[in-house]
Chain A
């Protein structure tokens, strides 16, 4: 195939946007959003490998890697034979960076010029792991400093205490970057094994948004030297059972002006189907919005009773191997706040028609806004591509929502036996 024939093109009439979809000959999914709306081009290479992929099978062996290895690898891939990756991007006026989460690592740049050189460079860096014992050792101190900075954050400590309470065995309980202790065990061999296991075209996707020619981007993407194939099987405990009292974190004393607490539930069943996860995410987000958005009379009542304040935030995070909701709040009386929130989440409110209409309008506004930057668009497209999700489906999902299924999702997720909490108390 050549030219436009190599692509499928999906359009969204409401937004007036289109996405060009293709695959390189090695099987790397590529999405391009060609637009003259932006002067800046953003490119995101998304790899479906994160901090929870610690145990896996590779070449007939079972491998157990230290906590924090995915984040360590992200650091090391920014170093190649020339040892000046940041300098090269800077010299082209580009900004480059990367981030690691529980289930993915993404590499990205934004630039207004020399897009081809920047993209080639990014693909080369991620495809070729230039890792030696010497340069792994050199990076250890820098990563340790980064981890110490996170550990100084009370919110960080609270979050991982909470996850430790929810999950006694699943590696989501560990900090994404590991700990200063765990990274001491990371070796060049670990990093190279993880790169071989997960950095594959079937476990990655590239998305580019900006004033670019899709054909030219696809030609450049052909240079991506990641090997073909899917990621290797990951071995994780399911860890879906009831919360275990023995693993509940004790309240921890920290130098904080007020107590902080987190409370939430974990899902008891999971799905490999990314579309079903999106639907579940949406239903849970709406269930939480109904209770805890600024428009909710439930939240206002809790505020008036003095058991929460505006520091309360609510969220839900899920992936193929975990899913949990969380409520985070500062409080003067953690017992009263925990009791009130526990009671509220276990009493599903009615999802009335006028609420559903309002939340649909709000989500439509949010969806339109999400197309406001080249970086945001490229990130969203890369994530959808790696999970095999079709573009422009967000509003279809919102339109299909029903009150009954949101209420059912609420009852199914917020169960007493699935609820954990963590607290930080002023020292």
Chain B
């Protein structure tokens, strides 16, 4: 079913990504930050896409750990890779916004620091899988599961601790109409990013399954 959905999904993602700059340009300017606040329209969606990938990675990692399902392992690696990709987007776009909003590229603020640590956990997950030797899939799955467990803390960190980072209430307030005309561009951008994450994960799962098939063929060839 997912294979059939791949083509329409690609078209929808392409349309949303082409329309996004126009819609973002039309959105109103924020009072204190001005133009640079528009980074928000793809900074927050990139984290939303990362959280989607993290959810997939954590659930698939748990399934692989407890049931040894190879298909779940394919989803776990896909989720981890896509999480790293979108985390990188968030970690690059954030400092570009911070340079103007805070006057510095980086603050060792609780949100920024925990987000960086979460990104490093998923990079570690991929490194363990690639260079950990035989059986490293299980270790990588455990790392992915723990990476998933950190995600709620990173999300709520701005509400729990004193921080310079905008709070989580910014997004619901925006969608409720705190800045008229900016809810739709944000919603479409968020949908575009999440769909892009799903599309990339689906392609990565296909690659992982083909790699398993190739390994099986090598094994059969060696034994024949």
A and B form one complex: no
List the interface of chain B (C-beta within 8 A of A).
Answer: none
